[in-house]
Chain A
Amino acid sequence: MRTCLIVDDSRVIRKVARRILEDLDFEIAEAGDGMEALAWCRAAMPDAILLDWNMPLMSGIDFLRQLRKEPGGEVPQVVFCTVESGLDNIRQALDAGAAEYIMKPFDGDIIEAKFAQAGLL
């Protein structure tokens, strides 16, 4: 079973995303900010990461840039999932190595479509 790390400081968002991604046959881990997410990744790289942008301690974009420097950090396919919907944000995310980008609010269809675009389904 493939693994997905959900990184979001909102417990509600994590719960909703978990339900959707479990239905898509992912085994789920959760982190509330970028630092916690890095700790998860250093222990075991997931196949996919659903990543919020604005979080305490370490933002999503800083996490992604750091992740790509870690041993094995090129492996996870990263899908941003954020309220940031400006083209500049999206370009930054793609430049940092994100595979796809979801603008909140989202639903199950959008997550499924974006994970399919990222080659994760």
Chain B
Amino acid sequence: MKRADLDLIVALTRGRAGLKVDPEKIYLIESRLAPLARREDFGSIPEMLTALRERKEDRLAWALVEAMTLNETSFFRDREVFDYLASEVIPALARRRAAAGGASLRIWSAGCATGQEPYSLAMALDGRRGELGGVKVELYGSDLSERCMEKAQSGMYTQFEVQRGLPIRALVDHFEKQEEMWQLSPRIRQMVRWRRINLLADLTPLGQFDVILCRNVCAGLEDAARAKVLDSLSQRLAPDGVLVLGASETAGDGAFLPMAGLNGLYQPNPAARAAA
């Protein structure tokens, strides 16, 4: 691949989504863009990039950026996070909201790829409605990739995907077999709403959330983009809300304080809020 082509890919992915792309890892870039080039009827990746330069087609540029995102996910990835959220964090927040006269709890899985994370939470909460003090849980899933959101919305997964992390009891309780695929029950599908969201955009219109999961997303971002995303998320979180990052990720520079109990869980830092 020519240097100019690599530069274009890096510039697009960095500029539009803050993604960290190593131009030395040509194999990785080619493996992600080759399926897009085929889908778009180009003979090769360079041919697609030439067309992109000539046509300056925004849709194709976004398709390229989306193809470069890492969509690694699985059901109940790091099982203990879901157990802890469903048994401790969410019931405690729900009781607090109920005591204050609130009727709902808003939970956002940001950068959730093909939707396994919010669906895992939906399944984990499904059997615990009695512990939520009558508070309605609203679950939202978002990703940069339109294709991922379409798949998430369908609730349709391959046999391979339902065998990664999903206990067999959950498969029996919540899925139906559709030929070679497995589809989540309408009851679980209806618990989650989906939207394509670029975390670098203005997130203010989304309102406030009680729990935000953004696990293993920031790790793929440039430093400046990561800082911007964490700052935006801190502003979307209720003062007593909880941010959930990947177990090995940290929330940076003082906007959040780590919670006891589990690695990767953070609460807004009241001192930082007061200063802001």
By a beta-carbon cutoff of 8 Å, the part of chain A in contact with chain B is 85-87, 90-91, 94, 98, 100-103, 106, 109-110, 113-114, 117
- Mark each residue of chain B from 158 to 174: 1 if its CB lies under 8 Å from any CB of chain A, else 0: 01100111011101100
**When the two chains form their complex, are residues B163 and A102 in contact, meaning their CB atoms are under 8 A apart?**
yes
**When the two chains form their complex, are residues A90 and B168 in contact, meaning their CB atoms are under 8 A apart?**
yes
A85: chain B residues at CB < 8 Å are 159, 177
Between A91, A98, A101, A113, the greatest number of chain B beta carbons within 10 A of the residue's beta carbon is seen for: A113
In this complex, what residue of B is CB-closest to A102?
B163
**When the two chains form their complex, are residues B168 and A94 in contact, meaning their CB atoms are under 8 A apart?**
yes
**When the two chains form their complex, are residues A103 and B163 in contact, meaning their CB atoms are under 8 A apart?**
yes
In this complex, what residue of B is CB-closest to A87?
B177
CB distance from B77 to the nearest CB of A (A): 10
CB distance from A86 to the nearest CB of B (A): 7
CB distance from B175 to the nearest CB of A (A): 8
Known: A85-B177, A86-B177. A110 touches B163 (CB 8 A): yes
Q: How many A-B residue pairs have CB under 8 A?
A: 32
A91 to B172 alpha-carbon distance, docked (Å): 7
Known A103-B159, A114-B168; further 14 A-B contacts with Cβ < 8 A = A85-B159, A86-B177, A87-B172, A90-B168, A90-B171, A91-B172, A100-B167, A101-B168, A103-B163, A110-B163, A113-B163, A113-B164, A113-B165, A117-B167
B171: chain A residues at CB < 8 Å are 90
A98: chain B residues at CB < 8 Å are 168
Chain B interface residue number, banded: 10 to 19
A110 to B165 alpha-carbon distance, docked (Å): 8
A83 to B87 alpha-carbon distance, docked (Å): 35
A16 to B183 alpha-carbon distance, docked (Å): 30
A102 to B191 alpha-carbon distance, docked (Å): 28
**When the two chains form their complex, are residues B169 and A94 in contact, meaning their CB atoms are under 8 A apart?**
yes
B176: chain A residues at CB < 8 Å are 87
Interface residues of B in 155-214 (CB under 8 A from A): 159-160, 163-165, 167-169, 171-172, 176-177
Known: A85-B159, A103-B159. A109 touches B168 (CB 8 A): no
In this complex, what residue of A is CB-closest to B177?
A87
Known: A113-B163, A114-B163. A100 touches B177 (CB 8 A): no
A27 to B169 alpha-carbon distance, docked (Å): 27
CB distance from A93 to the nearest CB of B (A): 8
Of all A-B residue pairs in the complex, the 9 with the closest CB atoms, nearest first, are A101-B168, A110-B163, A117-B167, A100-B168, A103-B159, A90-B172, A87-B177, A113-B165, A113-B164
CB distance from B276 to the nearest CB of A (A): 42
In this complex, what residue of A is CB-closest to B170?
A117
A51 to B193 alpha-carbon distance, docked (Å): 39
CB distance from A57 to the nearest CB of B (A): 26
B177: chain A residues at CB < 8 Å are 85-87
CB distance from A60 to the nearest CB of B (A): 15
A112 to B77 alpha-carbon distance, docked (Å): 14
In this complex, what residue of B is CB-closest to A107?
B160
B172: chain A residues at CB < 8 Å are 87, 90-91, 94
**When the two chains form their complex, are residues B159 and A109 in contact, meaning their CB atoms are under 8 A apart?**
no
A117 to B167 alpha-carbon distance, docked (Å): 6
| 27 sampled A-B residue pairs with Cβ under 8 A | A85-B159, A85-B177, A86-B177, A87-B172, A87-B176, A87-B177, A90-B171, A90-B172, A94-B168, A94-B169, A94-B172, A98-B168, A100-B167, A100-B168, A101-B168, A102-B163, A103-B159, A103-B163, A106-B163, A109-B164, A110-B160, A110-B164, A113-B163, A114-B163, A114-B168, A117-B167, A117-B168
